[in-house]
């Protein structure tokens, strides 16, 4: 009796712990309730199977326990049972995976009205860039990166001159506005993750990855790097502040544009900034990676 009772206790304990566990997700602060729904569905499917298997094992270890003179039968094939197992397993796996196809499709289909901003990751900090008044981010390339142009914005691209640079780990976003997050890295793999937004994406040097979401709660949230990226990985943290539209605009207006930050970097002179433009674009300038 010992084994069946222990099995039942393990099953019961696991289920009870799942419901009273002190570890659960932080309250959601974005539109991605779908992500939670699919995980909860997975918990249900795997939970039902787990309880079923435990009960079955407890029953078998009790019903077929050792008895004097009883002999086990050898039955290597049972097509009927195998069919049932195959069908039930397929239904379970399909239930877990199929909803993900719809959710993923949504996840990579950015709404047309979405705004955008860029996250630039480097060991071990976050910086950000917003499009300026023209609504367009300027093109960027590693060859333009230097001390005065850490974002590597193409100085010849007019779309980039009014880009707003956030050379700080804290970024603000307006509430209830869908936003496309473009992700770049200057060095190694990183991953931008705000747990409350239920959305994250790897950042791959040499390419621009993206995801989108709509912040739905005003507040301050931790942005974590979710890809082991070196000894400072644990400290690679940022802050996303979700503001009302008014507060967001007020904050954004205080941030320097690319043209301004270039001028500032070169002694507040617009004339000098033009010189940097031409310097930065010469091919032999240092590349930051």
Which positions lie near Cu ion, rule CB under 5 A?
Answer: 190, 225, 229, 236
Please, what is the minimum distance in Å from the beta carbon of residue 270 to Cu ion?
Answer: 36
* Helices 258-265, 270-281: inter-axial angle, 10-degree rounding: 100
Q: Distance between CA atoms of 154 and 233, rounded to whole angstroms?
A: 29
Q: Which is nearer to Cu ion, 38 or 185 (CB)?
A: 185
- DSSP assignments along 72-101, one per residue: -------HHHHHHHHHHHHHHHHHHHHHHH
Query: Which residue, 121 or 263, is less far from Cu ion as judged by CB?
Result: 121
The smaller minimum CB distance to Cu ion, of residues 7 and 225, is found at: 225
Q: How far is the CB of 194 from Cu ion (least distance, A)?
A: 14
Instruction: Show Cβ contacts of residue 283 under 8 Å, excluding neighbours closer than 6 positions.
Output: 143
CB of 286 to Cu ion, least distance (A): 22
124 upstream amide cis, omega within 30 of 0: yes
Choice between 121 and 166, CB closer to Cu ion: 121
Q: Identify which of residues 202 and 279 has a Cβ nearer to Cu ion in the complex.
A: 202
* Least distance to Cu ion, CB of residue 76, Å: 52
What is the CB neighbour count within 10 angstroms for residue 51? 14
Rounded alpha-carbon distances, angstroms, from residue 281 to 89, 144, 165, 241, 277:
59, 6, 19, 34, 6
- Sorted by sequence, the CB contacts under 8 Å of residue 153 that are 6+ apart come out as 129, 138, 139, 140, 144, 160, 163, 258
Least CB distance to Cu ion at residue 24 (A): 26
Instruction: Give the residue with the Cβ less far from Cu ion, 203 or 259.
Output: 203
State in angstroms the smallest separation of the CB of 168 from Cu ion.
17
Asked if 177 and 115 count as a contact pair (C-beta separation under 8 A), the reply is yes
Minimum CB distance to Cu ion smaller for 211 or for 258: 211
Task: Please give the Cα distance from 163 to 159 (Å, whole number).
Answer: 7
Q: How far is the CB of 189 from Cu ion (least distance, A)?
A: 7
User: Cβ(199)–Cβ(211) under 8 Å?
Assistant: yes
Residue 275 per-residue DSSP state: H
């Amino acid at each position: 009796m010992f084994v069946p009772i222990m099995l039942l206790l393990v099953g019961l304990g696991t289920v009870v712990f799942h419901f009273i566990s002190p570890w659960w997700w932080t309250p959601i602060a974005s539109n991605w309730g779908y992500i939670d729904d699919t995980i909860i569905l997975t918990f249900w499917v795997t939970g039902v199977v787990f309880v079923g298997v435990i009960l079955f094992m407890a029953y078998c270890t009790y019903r077929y326990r050792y008895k004097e003179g009883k002999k086990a039968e050898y039955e290597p094939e049972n097509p009927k049972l195998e069919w049932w197992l195959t069908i039930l397993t397929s239904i379970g796996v399909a239930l877990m995976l199929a909803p993900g196809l719809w959710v993923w499709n949504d996840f990579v289909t950015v709404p047309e009205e979405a705004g955008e901003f860029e996250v630039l990751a480097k060991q071990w900090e976050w910086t950000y860039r917003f499009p300026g008044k023209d609504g367009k981010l300027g093109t960027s390339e590693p060859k333009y990166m230097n001390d005065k142009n850490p974002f590597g914005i193409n100085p010849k691209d007019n779309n980039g001159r009014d880009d707003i640079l956030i050379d700080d780990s804290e970024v603000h976003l307006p509430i209830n506005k869908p936003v496309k997050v473009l992700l770049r890295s200057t060095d190694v793999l990183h991953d931008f993750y705000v747990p409350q937004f239920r959305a994250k994406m790897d950042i791959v040097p040499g390419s621009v990855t993206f995801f989108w979401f709509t912040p739905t709660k005003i507040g301050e949230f931790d942005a974590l790097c979710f890809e082991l990226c070196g000894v400072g990985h644990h400290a690679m943290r940022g802050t996303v502040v979700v503001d009302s539209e008014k507060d967001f605009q007020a904050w954004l207006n205080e941030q320097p544009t690319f043209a301004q930050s270039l001028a500032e970097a070169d002694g507040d002179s617009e004339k000098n900034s033009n010189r940097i433009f031409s310097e930065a674009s010469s091919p032999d300038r240092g590349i930051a990676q």
